[in-house]
A and B are shown apart, each in its own frame.
Chain A
Amino acid sequence: MNAVTDVRAAPPRRRSIARRKATDLVVKVLSWIGAWFGIAVMAFIVYEVVRRGAGALNWAFFTQPTPQDVTSTAGGFANAIVGTLVITGVAALIAIPMGFLGGVYLAEFGRNGRVATAVRMIANVVMGVPSIIVGVFAFATIVRPVQHYSGLAGSVALAFIMLPVMARTTEDILNLVPNEIRESGLAMGAPRWKVTLGVVCRAARGGLITGATLAIVRVAGETAPLLFTVLSSPYWMTGLFGPGGFFGGPVANLTKTIYDFSGSPYPQWQELAWGGALVIIIAVLGMNILVRLLFQRGKQW
């Protein structure tokens, strides 16, 4: 080392400014390409689905059940749409309250305790489990014992996927609420649960609604867990019990029907499948946009 004895004697050698600017430009361009590549893929998917599916979206699509034979020109996806709404809705009814309460526990009561740390880790792991494995799990625990597929089994599988998403989102959102809000609530002499539900969750309500909606969106397009649990059906769901009912047998649903119809050799069925795909994309996109609008208005702490 050639030691500089007196650092004050000479100013330090400057780095090359041109080089710094070049590096800056390279990083800027690379990130620009990365961003636009993602957007372009997304745009291409939407464009292609709209181009091929828009023609299928007519009155019959939303009112008629899936066609029974290839010769008929009538038929739609109404039974599959209803089935998906019911299956996802029941999953949401199971997972959102439980996930919400779990998230409240993690953020407000468990915090950094041993139980909360374990629950948080398990939730993170479950979020990473491939959804087909959740399907197999639901098959083994619900479908096998009763010896038949059912809408309920599908809802449970979807709920299992939603639960950790909802819990972790709730926790993250509640952690954004500043502690002064908690302290002011407690300083009024209100008990902890009242402050948590009436003040903290209220302050975070926009984010909580967003979290719940995103959890629903997360599972709305799932196919793998339904393969093992709901299968699908060419008929309307006929009430709750019996072979055509929610608890009693396979239930028509969008994703599995898209899968079946897209693989069929008949062009009019393939077009229906594109229509189904378009409906899912519109629903998911629509819900995302909706909650973003809601969130902006609800964010007021």
Chain B
Amino acid sequence: MVGITVDGPSQMQSQATVVPPRLEVAEDRRGAGEDFAALPTEIAVRDLDFFYGKEQALFANTIDIKRNRVTAVIGPSGCGKSTHIRAYNRIFNLYRDQKAKGEILFDGSNVLSSQTDLLDLRRRIGMIFQKPSPFPMTVFDNVAYGLRQHYRLSRSDLSNRVEDALKRSAIWDEVKHKLNEPGNALSGGQQQRLCIARAIAAEPDVLLMDEPCSAIDPVGTAKIEELILALKSKYTIVLVTHNMQQAARVSDYTAFFFQGRIVEFGPTTKIFSNPAEKQTEEYITGRFG
């Protein structure tokens, strides 16, 4: 079969039936040499549906995001990768017509519940966007933004933490003499690392990265990929990418999305070497998408 054409809803229905239940795939995940089930789960997504107005964009997404691992989310444009992670920190709530149903369990409670304190949720689940978006203020104030928002800090403590966040984001040497210059005067790749510093300064548990390198040149991309590998020891990272080499290079687990469904999820080595699903194989070998 060369390429696949899935258009009608009838085909989408049949696809749902091909997706194996989550527990069955769990057997294969041990292929990466670690016991997936035994790893602590940071975020457990159960039957997540997502709607843009009346149009449903995600269908019954179920996935476990493991602590201190990089989980890559891949799939063709419009498959719902970004939509999926934008549910984790409820950033979609900015738009009135967007709704999520199902469960996203984080630290024992459902993120989608109306009881959730969004400010604290977003401190604990930081996000990096596709387009570097430094705030219109100095480099220092950018990184201090989240710290000032969530913590009471003395001036010296604040500047120590800003410095530390910039160091951990591998950008300190480039900006240490530019702390009082506007953040958007930096290069694109530097701006993105500045945004990472801004996110990790607030001491989150999880970092959501929504195609963080798609607007960055190859050198900047390499630096960010190194950074992701270094940050893994402290944070749980979910990385949306349309660059499959990137997913293969930096992630431990990979989820393949297609038309709003999680077609396959497993250890990255297995997804890229021996995928269980035909659609996954066709996508990663570049036959469609």
Footprint of B on A, CB under 8 Å? 111, 178-191, 194, 198-199, 202-203, 205, 300-301
Complex interface: chain B residues within 8 A of A111 (CB): 96
Given contacts A182-B94, A190-B145, contact A300 B182 (CB under 8 A): yes
- CB of B136 within 8 A of CB of A187, answer no
Complex interface: chain A residues within 8 A of B91 (CB): 183, 186-187
13 A-B Cβ contacts within 8 A?
A180-B129, A180-B130, A183-B91, A184-B127, A186-B91, A186-B122, A187-B91, A187-B129, A188-B126, A188-B202, A191-B119, A202-B135, A203-B135
Considering the chains assembled together, what is the distance between the CA atoms of A183 and B96 in angstroms? Answer: 14
Given contacts A189-B123, A189-B149, A194-B149, contact A183 B129 (CB under 8 A): yes
From A180, which residue of chain B is reached at the shortest CB distance?
Answer: B133
- CB of A185 within 8 A of CB of B135, answer yes
Q: How many A-B residue pairs have CB under 8 A?
A: 71
- CB of A301 within 8 A of CB of B184, answer yes
Q: Mark B127-150, 1 if CB is under 8 A from A, else 0.
A: 101110101110000000110011
- CB of B149 within 8 A of CB of A184, answer no
B127 touches which of A187, A191, A202, A301 (Cβ 8 Å): A187
Complex interface: chain B residues within 8 A of A198 (CB): 135
Complex interface: chain A residues within 8 A of B130 (CB): 180
Considering the chains assembled together, what is the distance between the CA atoms of A65 and B35 in angstroms? Answer: 91
By Cβ-Cβ distance, the 10 closest A-B pairs, closest first, are: A189-B122, A189-B123, A187-B127, A184-B133, A203-B136, A180-B133, A189-B119, A188-B146, A202-B136, A190-B149
Complex interface: chain A residues within 8 A of B146 (CB): 188-190
From A177, which residue of chain B is reached at the shortest CB distance?
Answer: B136
Considering the chains assembled together, what is the distance between the CA atoms of A300 and B199 in angstroms? Answer: 22
Considering the chains assembled together, what is the distance between the CA atoms of A91 and B283 in angstroms? Answer: 63
Considering the chains assembled together, what is the distance between the CA atoms of A190 and B150 in angstroms? Answer: 8
- CB of A187 within 8 A of CB of B89, answer yes
- CB of A187 within 8 A of CB of B135, answer no
Minimum C-beta distance from A151 to chain B (A): 38
Given contacts A180-B131, A194-B149, contact A187 B126 (CB under 8 A): yes
Considering the chains assembled together, what is the distance between the CA atoms of A178 and B137 in angstroms? Answer: 16
Complex interface: chain B residues within 8 A of A189 (CB): 118-123, 146, 149-150, 202
Considering the chains assembled together, what is the distance between the CA atoms of A182 and B120 in angstroms? Answer: 17
Footprint of A on B, CB under 8 Å? 89, 91, 94, 96, 118-123, 126-127, 129-131, 133, 135-137, 145-146, 149-150, 182, 184, 195, 198-199, 202
Complex interface: chain A residues within 8 A of B145 (CB): 188, 190
From A298, which residue of chain B is reached at the shortest CB distance?
Answer: B136
Complex interface: chain B residues within 8 A of A183 (CB): 91, 94, 127, 129, 133
From A112, which residue of chain B is reached at the shortest CB distance?
Answer: B96
From B120, which residue of chain A is reached at the shortest CB distance?
Answer: A189
- CB of A199 within 8 A of CB of B149, answer no
Considering the chains assembled together, what is the distance between the CA atoms of A180 and B137 in angstroms? Answer: 16
Considering the chains assembled together, what is the distance between the CA atoms of A198 and B149 in angstroms? Answer: 12
Complex interface: chain A residues within 8 A of B129 (CB): 180, 183-184, 187
Complex interface: chain B residues within 8 A of A186 (CB): 91, 94, 122
Considering the chains assembled together, what is the distance between the CA atoms of A180 and B211 in angstroms? Answer: 13
- CB of A188 within 8 A of CB of B122, answer yes
Q: A180-B131, A301-B136 are in contact. List 8 more A-B contacts (CB 8 A).
A: A178-B133, A183-B94, A186-B91, A187-B129, A188-B126, A188-B199, A198-B135, A300-B184
Considering the chains assembled together, what is the distance between the CA atoms of A179 and B135 in angstroms? Answer: 12
Complex interface: chain B residues within 8 A of A190 (CB): 119, 145-146, 149
- CB of A199 within 8 A of CB of B122, answer no
Complex interface: chain A residues within 8 A of B126 (CB): 187-188
Minimum C-beta distance from A107 to chain B (A): 13
Considering the chains assembled together, what is the distance between the CA atoms of A180 and B42 in angstroms? Answer: 26
From B131, which residue of chain A is reached at the shortest CB distance?
Answer: A180
From A300, which residue of chain B is reached at the shortest CB distance?
Answer: B184
Complex interface: chain B residues within 8 A of A181 (CB): 133, 135
Minimum C-beta distance from A114 to chain B (A): 12
Minimum C-beta distance from B204 to chain A (A): 9
Q: Which of B91, B94, B136 has the most CB of A within 10 A?
A: B136
B195 touches which of A178, A184, A194, A202 (Cβ 8 Å): A184
Complex interface: chain B residues within 8 A of A194 (CB): 149
Complex interface: chain A residues within 8 A of B195 (CB): 184
Complex interface: chain B residues within 8 A of A185 (CB): 135
Complex interface: chain B residues within 8 A of A199 (CB): 135-136
Minimum C-beta distance from A178 to chain B (A): 8
- CB of A188 within 8 A of CB of B149, answer yes
From B121, which residue of chain A is reached at the shortest CB distance?
Answer: A189
Complex interface: chain A residues within 8 A of B89 (CB): 187
Considering the chains assembled together, what is the distance between the CA atoms of A180 and B133 in angstroms? Answer: 7
- CB of B136 within 8 A of CB of A188, answer no
Minimum C-beta distance from A127 to chain B (A): 27
Considering the chains assembled together, what is the distance between the CA atoms of A190 and B91 in angstroms? Answer: 12
Complex interface: chain B residues within 8 A of A300 (CB): 136, 182, 184
Minimum C-beta distance from A187 to chain B (A): 4
From B148, which residue of chain A is reached at the shortest CB distance?
Answer: A190
Considering the chains assembled together, what is the distance between the CA atoms of A301 and B182 in angstroms? Answer: 11
